[in-house]
Structures are given as structure tokens and as C-alpha cells.
């Protein structure tokens, strides 16, 4: 998440995925499975087919990372990281409107609503935010909380550090 904030300049220069109409306006988190239609383990070509070939690329990230946004200079959208050509993480950027998780849990919800809907989660204290996480199967689902509000969704490989 920190990387997403630091790469705002890349986002500003990114060609929006919305230009091709492929980035969902109301993306969905399916815990342990997918975010915005992107699944862990998918190949880069599958992500490009689903979200389009127009994306920003993070130059300073530890892993190849693509940013799909809704418009020029818009920070809202989806970040996708790759390891060995396959999706290793996917997360929302800057609390895009309309995105939701299980049982209608929406970005912007109060932190108490998260556990009421999702159930017990493990808290990871990150610098400037908290990540509420649950491991299922091969995935780690993260709910990022800033100032008591749900700011972002994330899907990582099981056991991955959500604060990285």
C-alpha cells in the first residue's frame, strides 16, 4: 500500500484502463479468490486481456507492478504485482468509489463494520494504517484501514506481508 502512495506520479502519467472501458466501475472483492476480476496466479497476458493493455508501470517497485486507473491524473483504480510473470498481489488504489466486498461491504465503511461482515481478522500494524487480514487456501485477503475507515482491499499470496 505504501508503494501505491509513493507511485502517485506514475499513476498520473498512466494511460487509463477506463479508456478501453475494461476497469470495472464497481469492482468486487471475493475473499481468497479475486479482486476486480483479477485472480492470484494469472499470467500477465490474462490481466491485459481482462483490464486492457493501457496501464502505468512502477519503475521503483521490487516486483513488476501495473497500475490501472480511471482517467488521466486519477489515482483511483487497481494495482497488480507480478512474480515470475504471474499475479502475486492485487489491490485497490485510493479508495475507488463503488468497489465492494462480501455482503456489500463498501470501501469507506467503518472498521467495526468489517469484522461484523467478514468475521475475525488478524491485525497487522503498518506505518500509517492497519491491515486486517485473513488467510484462506493459498491467499491472504487484506482490508486496509486508515483513520478508522476501510480504505482499500488487497489480495496476496498466503502469508505475504500486507505492510510491504
Instruction: Look at residue 16 and tell me if it is in a domain.
Output: yes
Neighbours of 103 (CB within 10 A): 8
Instruction: Look at residue 132 and tell me if it is in a domain.
Output: yes
Mean pLDDT over residues 19-37, rounded? Answer: 89
- Number of domains present in the structure of the chain: 1
Grid coordinates belonging to 22: 475494461
* Cα distance between residue 126 and residue 85, in whole Å: 27
Residue closest to 158 by CA, chosen among 146, 145, 140: 140
Instruction: Look at residue 163 and tell me if it is in a domain.
Output: no
Q: How confident is the model at residue 11 (pLDDT cuts 50, 70, 90)?
A: very low
Give pTM, 2 decimals: 0.87
Instruction: Look at residue 96 and tell me if it is in a domain.
Output: yes
Residues spanned by the domain of 11:
2-157
CATH of residue 30: 2.60.460
Q: How far is CA 58 from CA 8, 19, 96, 139, in A?
A: 10, 20, 19, 23
Residue closest to 10 by CA, chosen among 60, 50, 44: 60
Instruction: Look at residue 49 and tell me if it is in a domain.
Output: yes
pLDDT digits (tens, 9 = 90+) for 42-70: 999 999 999 998 899 999 999 999 999 99
Instruction: Look at residue 37 and tell me if it is in a domain.
Output: yes
Instruction: Look at residue 164 and tell me if it is in a domain.
Output: no
Instruction: Look at residue 76 and tell me if it is in a domain.
Output: yes
Amino acid at each position: 500500500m505504501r508503494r501505491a502512495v509513493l507511485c502517485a506520479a506514475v499513476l498520473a502519467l498512466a494511460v487509463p484502463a477506463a479508456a478501453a472501458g475494461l476497469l470495472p466501475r464497481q469492482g468486487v472483492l471475493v475473499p481468497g479468490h479475486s479482486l476486480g476480476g483479477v485472480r492470484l496466479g494469472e499470467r500477465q497476458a490474462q490481466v491485459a486481456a481482462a483490464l486492457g493493455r493501457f496501464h502505468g508501470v512502477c519503475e521503483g517497485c521490487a516486483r513488476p507492478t501495473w497500475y490501472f486507473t480511471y482517467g488521466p491524473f486519477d489515482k483511483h483504480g487497481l494495482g497488480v504485482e507480478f512474480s515470475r510473470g504471474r499475479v502475486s498481489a492485487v489491490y485497490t488504489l485510493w479508495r475507488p468509489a463503488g468497489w465492494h466486498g462480501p455482503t456489500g461491504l463498501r470501501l469507506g465503511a467503518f472498521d467495526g463494520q468489517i469484522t461484523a461482515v467478514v468475521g475475525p481478522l488478524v491485525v497487522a500494524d503498518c506505518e500509517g494504517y492497519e491491515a486486517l487480514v485473513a488467510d484462506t487456501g493459498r491467499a491472504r485477503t487484506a482490508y486496509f484501514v486508515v483513520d478508522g475507515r476501510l480504505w482499500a482491499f488487497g489480495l496476496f499470496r498466503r502469508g505475504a506481508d500486507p505492510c510491504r
